[in-house]
Amino acid sequence: MAHPHLSIVIPAYNESARIEHALDRVLSCVEERGWDAEVLVVDDGSTDDTATIVQRWMTKHPRLHLVKNPGNRGKGYSVRNGLLQAAGEIVMFTDADLSSPMEEAERLIAALNDGADVAIGSRWMDRTRQTIHQPLYRQFFGRCFNWVTRVVMGLPFKDTQCGFKAFKRSAAQVIFRLQTIERWGFDPEILFIARKLDYVICEVPVTWGHDERSRMSYLRDGIKMLEDMARIRGNFLAGRYDKAIAAMKDTSSMVTPQVEQVVKVSNAEVR
């Protein structure tokens, strides 16, 4: 079977309340727009019915796949796992809450077609595109975190944390093999790595609406992300990224995904 043009990765942990709605919207969008696309749901060790629901949908949708992590590893691990297994020439990820409608993927794809290697959705480039605004305290913490990423990591983007990003396959296969952060702080790291490798990154304003069911705690998870940024900075100063890039010049190391104990469930297994 020929590889799809687009791969859509959805990281999911205990998403039984939202995953069915997400699959309906994503697969309907793919069909309506005639995209040559596959959809991969990465189950991050869920303890609810997330995997069972996805498997049920797989019986009717041959290009829907389930990828299982070896336990609960975090969003960063899930995104890396899915994107490294994705077969599309363009690979992207979106959150299960679809805060950015799937149709907005056209804006990211257009940026890649215009020459970018990485296209990142932005909630803050055009605030008129926000359909449901975050509470003021979340806006405050989010802007503070973004300021820190600019100062500490030199990232010039208005929004590093939007869970709506797309990559040319060739860029993703390099960037995500260098990723070390497995939880919430992975977004700044992959952008830091992409800039270090001189990939062209385009920040794209997208429609976005806050979901009150978001599990992220800006206090608890914000502290962890600050720790992750310190780790990224430490990796950079210690030359670990340079060493990893040099090691990847061996072609053989750039072929097999560096993800442990991966289980990809085929459609045949659920029929």
Q: What is the full DSSP assignment across 212-258?
A: TT----TTHHHHHHHHHHHHHHHHHHTTHHHHHHHHTTSGGGGTS--
Residue 40 located in a structural domain: yes
Asked if residues 171 and 243 have their Cβ atoms less than 8 Å apart, the reply is no
pLDDT tens digits along 40-59? 999 999 999 999 999 999 99
Hey, is 28 helix, strand or coil? helix
Instruction: Dump pLDDT digits (tens) for 92-115.
Output: 999 999 989 999 999 999 999 999
Does 217 fall in a domain? yes
Q: How confident is the model at residue 255 (pLDDT cuts 50, 70, 90)?
A: very low
- Report the CATH number at residue 78: 3.90.550.10
Q: pTM for the complete prediction? A: 0.84
Confidence of residue 150 (pLDDT cuts 50, 70, 90): confident
Q: How confident is the model at residue 213 (pLDDT cuts 50, 70, 90)?
A: low
Question: In this structure, is residue 1 part of a structural domain?
Answer: no
Does residue 119 belong to any structural domain of this protein?
A: yes
How many C-beta atoms surround the C-beta of residue 147 within 10 A? Answer: 10
Query: To the nearest whole number, what is the mean pLDDT of the chain?
Result: 85
Which pLDDT score, from 0 to 100, does residue 230 have? 84
User: How confident is the model over 129-137, as a mean pLDDT?
Assistant: 59
| Strand partners of residue 208 | 130
Is 19 in contact with 96 (CB distance < 8 Å)?
Answer: yes
Structure confidence at residue 270 (pLDDT) = 53
Would 196 be classed as within a structural domain?
A: yes
Q: How many domains does the chain have?
A: 1
pLDDT at 180 over 50: yes
Within the chain, where are the H helices? 19-33, 50-58, 75-85, 105-113, 136-153, 169-178, 186-196, 220-237, 240-247
Please give the Cα distance from 19 to 222 (Å, whole number).
25
Return the bridge partners of 6, or none: 37, 90
Q: Which domain holds residue 200?
A: 6-270
Over the range 233-269, which residues count as b (16 or more CB within 10 Å of their CB) and which as e? eebbeeeebeebeeebeeeeeeeeeebeeeeebebee
